[in-house]
A and B are shown apart, each in its own frame.
Chain A
Amino acid sequence: MIENRRGFDLFCHAVLILGVLLVVFPVYIAFCAATMSDAEVFSVPLSLVPSTHLFENIVNIWTHGSGNAAAPFGHMLLNSLVMALVISIGKISISMLSAYAIVFFRFPFKNLAFWLIFITLMLPVEVRIFPTVQVVSSMHLSNTYAGLTLPLIASATATFLFRQFFMTLPDELMEAARIDGAGALRFLWDVVLPLSKTNIAALFVITFIYGWNQYLWPILITSDQSLQTAVVGIKSMIASGDTATEWHLVMTATLLAMLPPLAVVLTMQRWFVRGLVDSEK
């Protein structure tokens, strides 16, 4: 801060506090609703003070599920976890390998490979959603973890980020490795990988959340209730048929579904912020 302007500072604090309140408000209400019984949650207006049924709601939704989502929510959380982990680990691995090959090697058809991979940046899954569903079911992968995760693993954003980063690595590094007699794989494992830690951390957060929050793809590729993921499950708890929505259970489920990605963001906040912002430059 350069000069001291009380009024302006107060204004800024006020703006920030307002921002935080708006950001936190829906989640606070969700928390209140999650602690209520079904009679309490339907009363208008909703009380702003939490009630006492949180634990029993958690147990209820974990083991029984609700509404259209017939599977127990605990199982859905597990599905989401598997999906998010497989996608993030898979994506980071193959993207790193591809980016490494593209940046550090000279080989015929390299440009073709480069463009084939980057063309996928132009085709988010929603644009080719129905044919992708048909391709996956013709491979008999619908209603499998493989079908849920594989098509989402190869998008080029991670490859792109790695490529940008690798291109900032000075030539001297590679020269030094050559002089030491290290081969390509050695160089990757001993030098490039450790240097990429921040990027990997940032990418892990991004891809984990990307995998956890998937919505359209799981809807189309799985119809088996046992494979339903948490985010999709919550939407289908909102009844559109003859039964009523159990909002207190729905809110409990949303809180549970928000926890893992939140934990990932908060614990890796430092690297995530640094890696994400640095690699954009």
Chain B
Amino acid sequence: MEKRSRFNTSLLPYLLVAPQLAITALFFLWPAGEALWQATQSQDAFGTSSEFVGLANFKQIFTDPLYLSSFNTTIIFCTLVTVSGLVISLLLAACADRVTRGRKLYQTLLIWPYAVAPAIAAVLWSFLFNPSIGLVTYALAKYGIVWNHALNGSQAMFLVVLASVWKQVSYNFLFFYAGLQAIPRSLIEAAAIDGAGPVRRFFGIALPLLSPTSFFLLTVNVVYAFFDTFPVIDAATGGGPAQSTKTLIYKIFAEGFQGLDIGSSGAQSVVLMVIVVALTVLQFRFIERRVQYS
């Protein structure tokens, strides 16, 4: 951090940070420590008997082929949500940047899904794809496609990806659109004079200039896909069929809440913590380098 003037009062800064530190200590650090401790215990559901078992819980999850396959499921799910979310919103942003009429209207109409809870997005799309009374199910049947996401794993994955992306496109669109609007006109005009068509200009100028935005959105989307999509999966498929939509976060919930197995869910939480810390460190390193403070 560069040199800048600062206040020197002694007690005030402590008072200012105290509330946040207090809540951080109580509701972040203490539970994180507890998770580490519980991951090493073998407990019954009521917690009346607890036995230290070292790394046994970790060993158990890493030798469980289904835990490892949930890594796979999570990666597939994250990739699908992130890539389709970014590509679709980029396309929409580029088109909105291009047209002259109705811009404000398009922008308003496209950003409001941000306000919708992921759980509600899942409920809406589950209703449309309901195997018994869904409207889309009915339409697909007319074309001979049998929709039953309770049975077909790929269909289940499609449904949760759809509901997740539907909601996230608006957030991505916002940033991409603003990013495109911030590109200096002079650059674009110069390229046009040189004879570059709109598509060439997009790939040659806009896309590279959008890279900080793209990277920022990439990390936000990955985190979203990892964690905030839990309600989507819970509301739409419950992790099924046959674990095809059981992501890492869903497994933690299923084992801890329904299975009441605190040791296993604790160990899984610790693994997830390590992954998230790694991701955040990466993000900080990359973003801090690109950001300039004027």
Contacts and interface: CB of A to CB of B under 8 A. Distances in A.
A278 B213 CA distance: 11
Contacts of A29: 124, 127-128, 135
Interface string B265-292: 1100100110011001100000000010
A277 B175 contact: yes
A130 B266 contact: yes
A136 B121 CA distance: 29
B270 to A, nearest CB: 9
B26 interface: yes
Nearest to A15: B95
Interface in A200-220: 209, 212-213, 215-216, 220
Contact of B125 (A5, A26, A153): A26
Interface stretch (B16-24, B60-68, B76-84, B143-151): B16-24
Interface residues of A, number: 102
Interface stretch (A57-65, A67-75, A254-262): A254-262
Given A123-B273, A215-B118, A276-B174, A107 B10 contact: yes
A19 B120 contact: no
B13 A101 contact: yes
Given A26-B166, A128-B269, A135-B31, A123 B123 contact: no
A45 B20 contact: no
B17 A98 contact: yes
A9 B230 contact: no
Given A8-B198, A231-B120, A3 B13 contact: no
Interface in A232-281: 232, 234-235, 238, 247, 250-251, 254, 257-258, 261-262, 264-266, 269, 273, 276-277, 280-281
B7 A23 contact: no
B99 A16 contact: yes
B71 interface: no
B49 interface: no
Contacts of B35: 127-128, 130-131
B92 A135 contact: no
B48 to A, nearest CB: 14
B144 to A, nearest CB: 16
B249 to A, nearest CB: 5
Interface in A72-105: 94-95, 97-98, 100-102, 104-105
* Max chain B C-beta neighbours (<10 A), residue from A44, A119, A127, A280: A127
A2 B252 contact: no
Q: Which DSSP category, helix, strand, loop or mixed, fits chain A's interface?
A: helix
B262 interface: yes
Contacts of A116: 21, 24-25, 29
Given A110-B13, A235-B235, A127 B276 contact: yes
B17 A113 contact: yes
B164 to A, nearest CB: 13
Contact of A23 (B110, B174, B252): B110
B158 interface: no
Given A159-B20, A247-B133, A26 B27 contact: no
Contacts of A175: 5
A178 B5 contact: yes
A124 B223 CA distance: 9
10 contacts: A20-B109, A23-B109, A24-B109, A27-B124, A29-B124, A43-B133, A45-B138, A46-B133, A105-B12, A167-B1
Instruction: List the 7 closest pairs (A to B, CB-CB), nearest first.
Output: A131-B34, A213-B117, A154-B23, A131-B31, A12-B95, A101-B16, A261-B115
Given A113-B17, A254-B124, A273-B107, 5 more contacts: A130-B265, A171-B5, A184-B7, A231-B120, A276-B175
Interface of A: 1-3, 5, 8-9, 11-13, 15-16, 19-20, 22-24, 26-27, 29-30, 33, 41-46, 94-95, 97-98, 100-102, 104-107, 110, 113, 116-117, 119-124, 126-132, 134-136, 150-151, 153-154, 159, 164, 167-168, 171, 174-175, 178, 183-185, 187, 209, 212-213, 215-216, 220, 231-232, 234-235, 238, 247, 250-251, 254, 257-258, 261-262, 264-266, 269, 273, 276-277, 280-281
